[in-house]
Structure 1
Amino acid sequence: MTKADGSLANAPSMGNASALVCSIDSSLMTDARLEDHYRQHFAYVWKSARRLGVSEADADDVVQEAFLVARDLLDAKSPADVRSFLFGVVYNVVRRHRRRLKSSPQTTSAIDDLPDASARGPTASTERMEAARLLERLLALLNDEQRAVFVLAEIEHKKLREIGQILGINLNTAASRLRLARARLAEAALRIQAQEGWRTR
């Protein structure tokens, strides 16, 4: 599987991040260290939520919830790698978010709200959007557990031991999920290539 940058949609600019910081519950920002983490890692957490399948419409809410959870855990855990810690937090928040969505009608998906590549203009931009849509299409085939391991391994370039620590699973489980994810995506990619080849004949 070719490594990809995983930018399923453009992350909000820092201006937008600052606006969200200003609009967020003020109690979240009483901790100067947390506010600093929020400003530094907002875009990363937002993109992580999107990579894990959250729609653009829901991403800001998921990010805010993730930082609320992080506020309660940062002092207790004092993580050395804040980004990895935040990925673990957003992964758990996304799982809860998915459970909530299952009990209510869904009107959009992470795929639906990706911009249409044909509307982007320049060839490079079009190709980037097409690649992003293909990545999202493939990731959607995985269950939450496989998707998280695959994102960490192939996009974040984490080692299996690190992945196990981030997700709270043992090394064998991480390796098994990654193997299954790679096999499923390789099969799907071949099927898509065959379909595209048939269409262009």
Structure 2
Amino acid sequence: EKARIARDLHDIVAHHMSMVVVQAQSAPYRLDAVTPEIRTEFESISETGRAALNEIRGLLGVLRSDGDHMVTAPQPGVDQLDELLLGSTRAGLPVSWRVDGDRASVSESTGLALYRIIQESITNAARHSPGGPIDVAVAFGPQSVSALVNNGPSPLGGNQHSASETTGGNGIRGMRERASAVGGMLLANRRQDGGFEVRAELPSMPA
């Protein structure tokens, strides 16, 4: 139960807080006639959001409990994917997507894992490559569903996905746990151009 709470805290709260930070960081570049006072206010909002995210990560360290991967609470799934992607664009993220195939055969547990993996991938891209393009491709097949989230390097410069996030960060670790829990697999790798790629393959119906 503690592991489930930890994953949900990270996936839900961190995602939306990251959207707030991204909007505040990008607003001076997207809006006209931003005065120095307004720019300072946006910077303050960004700092507050980042501080909240750091506190959330600290709480996750207390709540996490390795070995318990069960997901029991009702959560969003494939029917909410479109709103997730549209909501990301409304937050100012340069997200494009393509969804192919029939999603009706996907189980609730696989749908939840897919939703959270895409949500977390977008959150990571927004946090580590602000302003970089994000491309999401989902293909529903008769036996499995595949997801590919690619994000390009940030045009604003700054930090990209670090090696620690690739191998041991809570976000990617949680995505791998979700994929494994339904019998699937997930790969996360830095691209040669400085971007990042997350690739997941999940069974439509867990064994």
The normalised TM-score by structure 1 is: 0.25
Q: Which has the higher strand share?
A: 2
TM-score, scaled to structure 2: 0.25
Relative contact order, higher structure (CA 8 A, sep 6+): 1
